[in-house]
Each structure stands twice: as structure tokens, then as C-alpha cells.
A and B are shown apart, each in its own frame.
Chain A
Amino acid sequence: QKEVEQNSGPLSVPEGAIASLNCTYSDRGSQSFFWYRQYSGKSPELIMFIYSNGDKEDGRFTAQLNKASQYVSLLIRDSQPSDSATYLCAVNIGVNGNQFYFGTGTSLTVIP
């Protein structure tokens, strides 16, 4: 079983809609959770991180964490064509935070 799992997609949403990206993880001891965006041919960039159960909002992005169910999601409101990219979920496992695991990414296309 992989440490972090994501649906590879592709996920297509119309412009202005809400895009929902999901990620599950296997280690209940996971401490922190991250969402990165990677445009084609570029390196990943950090969008946001979350440590506590519940929602965390940053502009059009909302991260949701449910430790009991071991999933973390990313909602993108008012999706724009510029949001089209691959979204990587990452989990930091361990008390000392010395093990990062990345999912394989979900490809998102926002259709104008």
C-alpha cells in the first residue's frame, strides 16, 4: 500500500466551477499535510499546508483535513484556466517530520 494515494485523473471542470482534489494517506501518525501545484515542465510550488483537523482557507483555495478518515482534500473555488496543472499531495510522517511522502498527483484541466 502506498503511503499517499491520489486519483491521477485527469479531472476536468468548467471555468468558474469548484475543483475538488482528494488524497488519502496510510500512516495515522502523519503530522502535516501539503498541497503543491506543478505546471508542465516546471517544479512543484507550495500552495498551502494544514496540520489540524478541519478547513483552512487561503484565497480561492481551501484545504480540508480529516485525520480520523485519513484524507486531505483541496478545493479550488472559481476555477480558472490558469489553475490547470498537476496537484501533488504530500504528507510528513513522524514526530520529527523527517519523512515526506508524495502522491503521484492529480491532473486538473479547467475548461474555458
Chain B
Amino acid sequence: GAVVSQHPSRVICKSGTSVKIECRSLDFQATTMFWYRQFPKQSLMLMATSNEGSKATYEQGVEKDKFLINHASLTLSTLTVTSAHPEDSSFYICSARDWGGGSSDTQYFGPGTRLTVL
């Protein structure tokens, strides 16, 4: 299957700082990438859909000014958590859509980034 990488895998930061997370599709071009957040023992929560070359679409309740998403190329999307606070501590997972056309449209996940805000 297709490979998606995320960097960093783990980050610890102080409250008030900003953190950037990178998501890359390594062996395919992804016009669409997704950003999820998952709290312990809870299900995935879609935060936003990132489309290459255009503004991201945020889910209801997700602050677009706090979670900045940039999808500048077909293989890279970034999520920046601005002015992070302890309640932003979570597991952030990206996925990339491998749009092969027709029935081969599949979503592949990166390994995730565990963010801890002190």
C-alpha cells in the first residue's frame, strides 16, 4: 500500500508556543489530505480536509486560526498548532487520499504525532 510519513512523531512543548507537524505522501501524489485528532480511548475526530492549492475545510468546532493548515504541494501538508495549551495535547494523525480514479480511491494514514503541551 501507499506510504504516508509524519514528522515529528512526538513533541513536547511549553504552553503558548506553536508546533508544526508535517505530513508527506512518499510514493503517490495526494491532492487531498486529512487531519485527525484522537484523545485516549476515543475515536478519530476529523479536524479538517486539506486540498492542494486551496484553503482547508474545517469541521464544525475546529478553530481555523488555531490550527493552521497548508497544503502547498501534492506530497506535503502541514498542520501548525498555534499558541498551544495543555488541552491541545493529543494524538494528531494525518491521512492522504490516493485518488487512483474510480473505485481505487483509498485513504492511507501517517504514523501520527503525539503532542504534549506542558
Interface residues of A (CB under 8 A from B): 31-32, 34, 36, 41-46, 49, 51, 88, 90, 92, 97-98, 100, 102-105
Residue of B97, B107, B112 with highest tally of chain A CB at under 10 A: B107
> Residue of A at shortest CB range from B41?
A40
What does DSSP make chain A's interface, helix, strand, loop or mixed? Answer: strand
Kindly count the residue-residue contacts between A and B in the assembled complex, taking CB atoms under 8 Å apart.
Answer: 44
Give every chain B residue within 8 A of A41 (Cβ-Cβ).
91
Q: Is the CB of B44 within 8 A of A88?
A: yes
B54 at the interface (CB under 8 A from A): no
Q: Can you give 15 contacting A-B residue pairs, CB < 8 Å? A: A32-B105, A34-B106, A42-B111, A43-B91, A43-B110, A43-B111, A45-B109, A46-B1, A46-B106, A88-B43, A88-B44, A97-B105, A100-B97, A102-B46, A103-B43
Cβ-based interface call for B69 (8 A): no
The listed residue (B91, B103, B107) touching A31 by CB distance below 8 A is B103
Q: Which residue of A lies closest to B111 (CB)?
A: A43
Interface residue? B28 (CB, 8 A) = no
Residues from chain B with a CB closer than 8 A to the CB of A102 are 43-44, 46
**How many Å from the CB of A51 to the closest CB on chain B?**
5
Q: Which of A49, A51, A90, A100 has the most CB of B within 10 A?
A: A100
